[in-house]
Every structure is written in C-alpha cells, then in structure tokens.
Amino acid sequence: MGICFYHKSISRMRIGFIGLGNMGAPMAANLVAAGHQVVGFDTADVTVEGISKVATVTEAVKGMEVVITMLPDGAILKAVYTDIVPQCETGALLLDCSTVDTGSATEAHKLAQLAGLLSVDAPVSGGIGGATAGTLTFMVGATDDALERVTPLLEVMGQRIVHCGAGGAGQAAKICNNMLLGVSMLATCEAFSLGEKLGLDAQRLFEVLSTSSGSCWPVNTYCPVPGVGPHSPADNDYMPGFAAELMLKDLRLSQNAAEQVDAHTPMGSHASALYERFVEGGGHGKDFSAVLPALTASRRGQSDE
C-alpha cells in the first residue's frame, strides 16, 4: 500500500495491447520505445508506429505474457475479457488501464481469477499529454504479486504508481479523485465568474486564489480563464485537454458507486447534473473547463439552483 517507487527494468516482454485510442496508442508507443514487443488490436482502423496490428482479439493475446486493455467503458471491458480470458497463455497477466465502474472491474478480476490468471486494475490520471510523455499516475488495485509483475511496464508508461488496495481499489480511487476534480473545477469557474461580475480583474483574482485557501488544481494548474495562470485549454479556445463528456462519464461512475454503497455525495451528484446539462447544451467536445464561459453567459435564476 502507499506510493511505490521501483527501479526501471529492461527485460523485454511480449505484450498484447487492446484499445489503441487517444490514450492507448501513446501508451503502447512508449512500451515499444522501451524495447518491448507489442502487438495491438482495436476495432477501429488505427495504426501506431512500431506496433504490429492484428486482425482479431485472439491474436492479441496468444503467446503474450501481459495483455493490456485501454477501453471506453465497463460493458466493453467485460465483453473483451469474456473473449480473451479463455485464450490467454497460462501464467499471463491482465492489466486494465481503462476507467470503468467498480462492478465491472470486480467482474473482470473474477473472470481472470477463475482462469488462474493474475489481474490488475490500474486506471490513470494525466490525460493524453501524460500518456504521450510517459508521466501518467497509475492507481492500482491488485495483489502484491500482480503489481510486482507489471511495475516495469507501469514505470515506462507513468511516473507515479499508487497501490490503492486489492482488485478494484484502483477504480475506486480514480472515481473519488475525479468526483473531487469535477466539483473543484465547477467551484473554480463559479469563483472567477462571480469575480468578473463583481468587477475584479481575473489576473488579480488568480493571484489571490492561487496563493490562498481557495487554491486547488483547477485554479493553480489548469486555470479556466484565458491568458491567466499556466498554459491550459482555456488558452486554446477550450480544446480538450480533458473533454467535458469524459468528466461527465467519471462523475456518473462516482454517483453509481455512491448509490451502491449508500454514500451521501450531494456535491458530486450536483456536479454530475451540471456537467450533464453542459454536455447536452453544446459542451460536448470542449474541455471540461469551458463551463466558465457558459456560466458567465448565463444569468442567476436561469438554472442550477
């Protein structure tokens, strides 16, 4: 448990990589660059330099020591695991880096366990930039044995590995983090919108917030005001970054999980409703910080209370 730092390993592994999208493709490319042999499969027509694309998911697992998945959601993950687990080599390890609901993660672990395979859930934080730079944070749910086996690969794709607990714990930590992120981004946008309407200069307000008790990641690192704070999607016409619909996906996962365990999360629930309205009202495809201009343009009483 806790934060683990391990030394880099140079042993070459045979890896099957399923899901070569925005995140999967650069993660797989980094494994190739580190000298691993990677075979890739995706239902879409994608190519990644250095990766032999195979035509069937079975070919992506046959003869592989590790099979990595980076897929859109839990239903797809379960369907893929149902197909691949019987095809995996004895002793193979399954590493899922997708963000999925905790129920699907637990079921995926069970499928692997029933077949005598080790499995790891290791959702990531850091976005496409982190995937490309190999600086992701991995939140890991696994046994010590399983984590030890995948650590050399996680070190190639990321910078920080946090062992959160047994199977499923990585997904649990991820949704707690992203629920907090959604809530704090909305609160940050509200503070800057209110400040503007009170006649405050955004740069001055940033200087106060980023050094006072209101400081938080959306203020200090990812400021939603164009031209203020470090470079962020706000400086690029709110191109993602982290798309609003992905924020909504994670907030919904947090609320489903909260319902299952009877946790009271009123702010998370409200954030989920606000992002749903934002995404459906034209925010789809924009960065999740683009709530700021939408909020500033709206008037009190129009919505939200």
Q: Can 174 be counted among the known catalytic residues?
A: yes
Active-site residue among 174, 197, 249, 286? 174
Contacts of 122 (CB under 8 A, 6+ apart): 95, 96, 97, 138, 139, 140, 141, 142, 150, 154, 170
**Only segment of 18-26, 85-93, 147-155, 197-205 that touches ligand NAD (CB under 6 A):** 18-26
- The residue (of 205 and 287) whose beta carbon lies closer to ligand NAD is 287
Distance CA 262, CA 196 (A): 39
Q: Is 76 in the site for ligand NAD (CB under 6 A)?
A: yes
| Contact assessment for residue 142 and residue 166, using Cβ atoms and an 8 Å cutoff | yes
Handedness of CA 236, 240, 244, 247 (dihedral sign): negative
**Only segment of 38-46, 108-116, 257-265, 283-291 that touches ligand NAD (CB under 6 A):** 38-46
Q: Is 290 in the site for ligand NAD (CB under 6 A)?
A: no
Tokens of 191: 């503070």
- The residue (of 10 and 44) whose beta carbon lies closer to ligand NAD is 44
Q: Is 253 in the site for ligand NAD (CB under 6 A)?
A: no
**In angstroms, how far is the first alpha carbon of the chain from the final one?**
41
Q: Is 72 in the site for ligand NAD (CB under 6 A)?
A: yes
- The residue (of 23 and 291) whose beta carbon lies closer to ligand NAD is 23
| Contact assessment for residue 46 and residue 73, using Cβ atoms and an 8 Å cutoff | no
Q: Is 242 in the site for ligand NAD (CB under 6 A)?
A: yes
| Contact assessment for residue 85 and residue 94, using Cβ atoms and an 8 Å cutoff | yes
- Interacting residue ranges for ligand NAD, rule: CB under 6 A: 18-24, 41-44, 46, 70-72, 76, 80, 98-99, 124, 127-128, 242, 246, 249
**What amino acid positions are annotated as catalytic residues?**
174
